[in-house]
């Protein structure tokens, strides 16, 4: 059975730590696959003008392509060059919910994420995506600093 590890990317410095940890874990486990996942944050509670709604699909596709080019594809290439089995996934949605859903869809055994900035105002008020993921995920979550 292949051991699948979902690695949450957000384009920050924490990505490197999470990817390194997941890479070491994959090598230790043996038959494994890394799923590098970038979630473009989206909220259904965002209010938009009619003009913004008309452009929404195009902007969404541009955001997905940018995330692939800047964060996912370089990491996939580097890990593949190291001999690991790896795939990249980019989705729109709530970060915690989307990572958990992908872990379930892909029958993953582990989720690895970098630690969110605990100093941000929004994370102090609403809680971070990382904290929400840890509290609600159905598979073990490793938070790497």
Residue-wise pLDDT tens digits, 20-30: 999 999 999 99
Q: Which fold has domain 3-144?
A: Rossmann fold (3.40.50)
Q: What is the pTM assigned to this prediction? A: 0.87
Q: Which residue ranges make up each domain of the chain?
A: 3-144
- Tens-digit pLDDT string for the chain (145 aa): 999 999 999 888 778 999 999 999 999 999 999 999 999 987 655 666 777 767 777 888 899 999 999 999 999 999 999 999 999 999 999 999 999 999 999 999 999 998 866 665 444 434 578 888 999 999 999 999 8
User: pLDDT tens digits, residue range 24-62?
Assistant: 999 999 999 999 999 998 765 566 677 776 777 788 889
Within 8 A by CB and 6+ apart from 18, the residues are 7, 8, 9, 112, 113, 114, 144
d(CA 69, CA 72): 6
């Amino acid at each position: 059975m292949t051991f699948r590890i979902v690695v949450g990317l957000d384009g920050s410095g924490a990505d490197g730590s999470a990817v390194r940890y997941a890479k070491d874990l994959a090598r230790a486990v043996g038959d494994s696959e890394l799923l590098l996942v970038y979630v473009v944050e989206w909220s259904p509670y965002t209010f938009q003008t009619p003009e913004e709604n008309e452009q929404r699909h195009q902007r969404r596709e541009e955001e997905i392509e940018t995330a692939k080019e800047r964060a996912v594809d370089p990491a996939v290439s580097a890990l593949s060059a190291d001999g690991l089995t790896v795939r990249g996934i980019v989705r729109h949605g709530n970060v915690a919910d989307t990572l958990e859903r992908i872990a379930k869809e892909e029958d993953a055994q582990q989720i690895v994420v970098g630690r969110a900035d605990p100093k941000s105002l929004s994370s102090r008020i609403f809680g971070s995506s990382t904290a929400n993921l840890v509290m609600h995920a159905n598979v073990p979550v490793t938070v790497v600093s």
